[in-house]
A and B are shown apart, each in its own frame.
Chain A
């Protein structure tokens, strides 16, 4: 097992450092602090032992607590356990009532399921559009939507629906970041994805969208999509 030879955990509200050591349960051998930084992931996950003990010491080297982690514990869960040992609590985040999307994980889960399972129907509001609309009103909403794009980009059908749903939002809701991912998606080998992007660019119809359409129109290999792009460009002029 390779981990932590040392960790400096800033305590709540002060700058003192805590040492953290991890050891296999069987040997009960603690690693000692030697360096000025630590690695918390990898070691626990790679451990051949079913469980490891994480021991927390104060800056004087005195043990102030320990916790048991299972092999396979992620760094985030390990940190959570360590903070419990250090009696560092995380304040609960109050969420306004009536929201479609309660939190980040919920957003990703709900939105990817909708992208996967609900086909896009022309003239109807896609459920993901509603979700995106709400999320984009939040702080860091753009980051959430970018995360959804990353989570769905392996599946052409989901990406196509993702862009069609984005296309149902006004340009003011997506300006300043959406053209970057549209530019990436227009290079997709999937004509379905490219068509979805073109549809979105058509509905926004802003100068930047027109610029992307013109650029794509010069290199588009699918004859029918090339014709469609040409028609959109004419309409937008």
Chain B
């Protein structure tokens, strides 16, 4: 059984529709200092649910592994981590591998927080999602199904299935208590493996059979918090430990795998 982190995402929900354009310029300049190469800026348009047209901005790192989106109702950072390098992690190596949830937290907290500050807005909600993919033999991948689901004995083990549970938990952010949702999603199915080459859009390499596991910790939608950019930074920086603790409470049956955290 091998498990690799496949996607990290951090979101700050905030209204950016009345934003001065200086925010766009400052963010572009800020991202250039983030050490991830020359980011590409896209101005995107679309239609929100309810047929409302919107305009947003998207910054992509050259290898498309980092995507920073500013939409009318949210700012988000999406990261596709590179495969972990062999050997112990080193902060003296060049380039620094930004492939752990903690590394992602540092980078995304910094970027989102700077965006909120430049746009002069506070966030009503915050969320961090971590996704990993486990691959193994069909027999090993069947174990979590038997652990998590009750299926009819008349059929063999399903080759596709979903499992999702959500809990309410109060979490401390410094001195502040936040009501949060902690969500675990497990999905068995086929997943596309992609190659990320600098200067090119991701290329689909192959279809992989595996088990995708996502933990999502977010502040509840019923509460509209007024989170400063520093609050959002703290939320994101605390989240890797929250995710790790939350995930460790489940016996999913992924024998031999290591936590992606």
Contacts and interface: CB of A to CB of B under 8 A. Distances in A.
B187 interface: no
A181 B106 contact: yes
A175 B28 CA distance: 29
Interface stretch (B133-141, B208-216, B232-240): B232-240
Nearest to A80: B25
Contacts of A12: 21
A37 B45 CA distance: 7
B228 interface: yes
Nearest to B176: A176
Interface in B1-37: 20-22, 24-26, 28-30, 32-35
Interface in A43-93: 45, 74-76, 79-80, 83, 88, 90-91
Given A41-B38, A79-B41, A184-B106, A176 B234 contact: yes
Interface residues of B, number: 57
Nearest to B89: A187
Given A177-B237, A187-B88, A143 B109 contact: yes
A139 interface: yes
A75 B41 contact: yes
A140 B113 contact: yes
B233 A143 contact: yes
A154 B91 contact: yes
B105 interface: yes
A180 B128 CA distance: 15
Interface stretch (A2-10, A114-122, A124-132): A2-10
B103 interface: yes
B114 interface: yes
B74 interface: no
B64 to A, nearest CB: 12
Interface in B222-258: 228-230, 233-234, 237-238, 240-241
Interface residues of A, number: 54
A36 interface: yes
A113 interface: no
Q: Which of A8, A76, A108, A153 has the most CB of B within 10 A?
A: A76
Given A79-B28, A154-B94, A142 B45 contact: no
Interface of B: 20-22, 24-26, 28-30, 32-35, 38-45, 53, 55, 58, 62, 88-92, 94, 96, 100, 102-103, 105-107, 109-111, 113-114, 116-117, 173-174, 199, 228-230, 233-234, 237-238, 240-241
16 contacts: A17-B45, A36-B44, A37-B45, A39-B40, A42-B199, A45-B38, A74-B38, A75-B38, A75-B41, A79-B24, A142-B233, A154-B92, A154-B96, A177-B233, A184-B91, A184-B106
Closest 10 CB pairs of A and B: A143-B113, A140-B117, A176-B234, A90-B22, A76-B28, A177-B237, A76-B29, A142-B233, A140-B229, A180-B237
